Amino acid sequence: MANWTEEQKRKYARFQEILEVGKQRYVDAGGNPQRYRAGFKGEDYLTDEERKEAAKIMRQMFGISIKNGYVYCQGRSWKVPEN
């Protein structure tokens, strides 16, 4: 994180904030904080909008894109499964 730009740091902070909101909802519902599973729909206690925003931030930060049924990341690509 030492070499990150201010924009990258801001995005990462927002990403962490979103995950903390979900974790707090999970704990408030009686869950064990050590067993929180961020990013698993139905288990992460995030709204669809929060989940979409978190995914968008991750794609921007790590250079992930999806075009014409293929995922591109760090110079590699693979076909998206049909399901």
What's the pLDDT tens digit per position in 46-77?
999 999 999 899 888 888 888 898 988 888 89
The Cα 4–Cα 32 span in angstroms is 32
Confidence of residue 34 (pLDDT cuts 50, 70, 90): confident
Residue 66's φ and ψ, nearest 5 degrees, are: -125, 120
Q: What is the pTM of this model?
A: 0.72
Mean residue pLDDT across the chain = 87
Q: Please give the share of the chain, as a percent, with pLDDT higher than 90.
A: 42
- Of 16, 19, 15, 25, residue with least CA distance to 59: 15
**Which of 44 and 21 is assigned the larger pLDDT?**
21
Structure confidence at residue 22 (pLDDT): 92
The Cα 77–Cα 44 span in angstroms is 28
Q: Residue 26 pLDDT > 80, yes or no?
A: yes
DSSP H or E stretch at residue 77:
strand 76-79
Angle, CA 40 vertex, CA 37 and CA 45 arms, to 5°: 75
